Amino acid sequence: MGVLFAMGSADQDLNDAVKTENDHFHDIIQENFLDSYKNLSHKAIMWLKWTALYCPQASYVLKIDDDVFLEPFRLLRVIKLLNEKHNGLRKSIACMIWDEMDVIRENTSKWYVTDEEYSEDIYPPYCSGSAYLLSADSVFPLYRTSLNMKLFWVDDVYVTGILRWNSNLELQSIASTYTLSCRQRLKDFDDANRIFCHMPGSLDKVYELWNYTLRLYDTDLTGNKTRHLLTAIGDS
């Protein structure tokens, strides 16, 4: 499992720090656009293009926000179930699906969209942008479609709604693997078979959650015990 960080550009000092980081770890994709909230769709096109070019051997690609906690052991089990029960994802994106969502026209909202930016009143079905799992054969079609589609700044709608729809790709729900916050008791996160949650602001809390996760799988890693079998595929 490889991990890459997608970034735009910032001031020179920060760009120099990013270069130093990448020279050491070789895990950053960066292009020359301002790294800002309204440029997230530029960032998405960047990593779609990079993945299509340089990761032809990948079976799946997971996009995840930097404020979302990933439980990687359960993710691997979801992928295993996809492979066993559905012969793997094919031309699909697995995620928490938002359907029949209104386009926000209130100009005080962070997600305010003008008629010029998007003329319809309802978005096509799309994924929660916090995390979504793409089949490898969906990556290039999404990038190819982006070359001929007007850019739309709401990146989760753009990639998993507009581009997906125009690329004839499917959505598959794995909604029960998401929870909005990691602030609930850690045991709840364990029992609910969650994979993704929004991390607490404190770095100490993030380390606490990660160390707790590692302790859960101590016996798994020695091969002496298998924990929960996920049944998240195809739920709603």
SS3 of residue 66 by DSSP: coil
pLDDT value for 225: 39
Determine what percent of the chain is predicted with pLDDT higher than 90: 63
Query: Per DSSP, what are the bridge partners of residue 133?
Result: 62, 94
Distance CA 33, CA 153 (A): 13
Where does the pLDDT of residue 227 fall: very low under 50, low under 70, confident under 90, or very high at 90 and above? very low
Where does the pLDDT of residue 176 fall: very low under 50, low under 70, confident under 90, or very high at 90 and above? confident
Distances (CA, A) of 118 to 163, 177, 180: 14, 30, 27
Query: Per DSSP, what are the bridge partners of residue 174?
Result: none
Where does the pLDDT of residue 194 fall: very low under 50, low under 70, confident under 90, or very high at 90 and above? confident
210-226 mean pLDDT: 62
